[in-house]
Structure 1
Amino acid sequence: MKNYDAYIFDFDYTLADATNPIVESFHYAFDKLNLKRASYDDIVNTVGIPLGEAYTLLTGDKSE
């Protein structure tokens, strides 16, 4: 067996269901930023989308 410097796993929905921690993370971040929380379903619909794009979809904020 070969030794590698790193192993990469596609964690979410492959090895485990991280839906609830993802939603909790968005809620935590939105609370810290004093933003209105997005709904559970809206957040779940962003799973798999890059974080910056998900933020824009959930908040409407298109700023860098």
Structure 2
Amino acid sequence: MLVPEPLITTSPDRLSGIPVFAGARVPIQTLIDYLEAGDTLDEFLKDFPIVSREHAIAVLELAKSALLTRR
């Protein structure tokens, strides 16, 4: 499955401008909340089937890259 570009979008007209998975109304924060709670990526994907595994992993990789390259 192709991953959308950009991975994340924001719009003041959608969910008060919070970052969401591009092409979906699923906040990125929801994925983080699932993982923080100890849920698996599979559980998140089951509850939000509009988000593909590849898209979720790409967003996590983007976050990882942003954190590791900050100085």
Would you call these one fold, judging by a TM-score over 0.5?
no
Question: Which structure would you say has the larger Rg?
Answer: 1
Q: Which has the higher helix share?
A: 2
Q: Which has the higher contact order (CA 8 A, sep 6+)?
A: 2
More strand by share: 2
